[in-house]
A and B are shown apart, each in its own frame.
Chain A
Amino acid sequence: MSDLLRHAWALARKDLVIELRSRTAFVSTLVFTVLVLIVFNFGRDPTATAVLDLAPGILCVTYTFAAMLALNRAFQLELENQALEGLLLTPISRRSIYLGKLIANLAFVGLVEAVGLPLFVVFFNVPVGHVLPALAGLIALSTVGFVAVGTLFSAMVIRTRFAELMLPVLQLPFSIPPLVLAVLATAKLFTGRPLDESLGYLKLLAAYDIVFIGLSTLLFPATVEE
């Protein structure tokens, strides 16, 4: 394994162990997910709009806000005892810090999404069993791009005042394309359209992921240097 990936894995593993011990971010993100689903469930008029028309948007918006919460904590860990300063003193590539955070964030957000999906099904009674593999792939593709951009912005805002406010302000404009693509593709899956009809969206999502992982990896060193 290259140095870059080995160091990235060491960082990701450290973040996941800390989260496993403290569980604060996971529990709060999960509670938030449940609350958003409850609000959407009771905030709509079931006689006015069919659930299948709203469900794709509800799922994607819920995941977006939950992921935003999770991303806010990504670099908070490194402010604890100014560990980020220690990381910057090590000889490892700044890019391995980004990749480590990206891996940890993906695992964390993925876990929240995995727990959130059954809750979504229970609340909205949307049958997803027949499209589960495709839906999982779609969620994964949209999550990767969102988290890739969010990890970069999370590092960018962490030493600013009002970091929790700055992150969504910076990130949401960049997240509109994958969010729209994910909603459109999810709607097609939920309404039983053939997967072929969603392939274009999936390819665009994959392109977004590749471009923004590449860009974020390149830009990250500049965001953490003094």
Chain B
Amino acid sequence: MLRAEALRHAFGPVWALDGITFTLQPGQTLVIFGPNGAGKTTLLKALAGLIRPSSGSVQIDGGRRAIGWIGHQTHLYNHLTVRENLLFWASLYDVSDRERRADRLMAQLGLADHADQPVLALSRGLAQRATIARALVHEPTVLLLDEPFTGLDLAAADGFRSLLAEYAAAGRSVVIATHNVEEGAELASEIAFQVRGKFVEHAPRGRRGAAEIAAAYRRAVGHV
């Protein structure tokens, strides 16, 4: 379970987080939509513990070990191969049977043919797939994903969406921040619109489709 309570954080005079509160149960997927500068990345970093909010608290069952993180950077070492990167990160999480876990993830994400290539030699899309593998290598129970579809081609994005749906069905909590309504809508069980550090709307997705969500989003952020 993930609980955020009255999170506030400012960069100078600008409130990037302004009293955000929510709880996410196992199996739920919260997709946060918001324009550039709404504070989505700051929120995810506060949830992950990468920044300490000015006030408020975050509680994640399982602590840091439970978190799988995809941010704007890959966190991969350019001179190591994809496999070496995965084995390295897995070793820091004390993953047992690291080789098998890495092989399975690389197969799932279409990286098997690139396993022994240095990250330096990967295209943007392949590097993003490797980033996803890195984030999942320790089987996290809470996924915090910031624009995770960046750089993925259609097939890879569809594959990743299926993987995320499997993770949610297996009782994991997922938080996705994106400005692209089409990318995240179908995964969401909960939807939030974040504007200037606040959730201006936060509700279950219900039966709303991408078009309805996009219309609601435009109304919420003031672009009718």
Contacts and interface: CB of A to CB of B under 8 A. Distances in A.
Interface of A: 3, 6-7, 10-11, 14, 17-18, 21-22, 77, 80-83, 85-92, 225-226
A81 B89 contact: no
A22 B65 CA distance: 31
A88 B75 contact: no
Contact of B50 (A6, A18, A80, A226): A226
Contacts of B65: 91
Nearest to A225: B52
Contacts of B78: 80-81
Interface residues of B, number: 30
B71 A82 contact: yes
With most chain B CB atoms within 10 A of its CB, the pick from A11, A17, A21, A81 is: A81
B88 A86 contact: no
Contacts of A80: 77-78
A89 B69 contact: yes
A91 B64 contact: yes
Contacts of A21: 79, 118
Give the 4 A-B CB pairs with smallest separation, nearest first.
A86-B75, A82-B73, A91-B65, A90-B92
A141 B81 CA distance: 36
Nearest to B78: A80
Contacts of B73: 81-82, 85
Nearest to B84: A17
Contact of A226 (B52, B74, B76, B79): B52
A21 B48 CA distance: 32
Contacts of B15: none
Interface in B57-87: 63-65, 67, 69, 71-80, 84
Nearest to A15: B77
B122 to A, nearest CB: 11
Contacts of A6: 91
A14 B75 contact: no
A14 B52 CA distance: 29
Nearest to A88: B50
A131 to B, nearest CB: 39
Contacts of A10: 88, 91-92
A89 B80 contact: no
A81 B63 contact: no
A21 B77 CA distance: 12
B86 to A, nearest CB: 12
A159 to B, nearest CB: 13
18 contacts: A6-B91, A7-B91, A14-B80, A17-B80, A21-B79, A81-B73, A81-B75, A81-B76, A81-B77, A82-B73, A83-B76, A85-B50, A85-B75, A87-B92, A89-B50, A90-B64, A91-B63, A92-B92
With most chain B CB atoms within 10 A of its CB, the pick from A10, A85, A89 is: A89
A80 B76 CA distance: 8
Contacts of A91: 63-65, 92-93
Contacts of B89: 86, 90
A89 B49 contact: yes
Contacts of B84: 17
Nearest to B63: A91
Contacts of A17: 79-80, 84
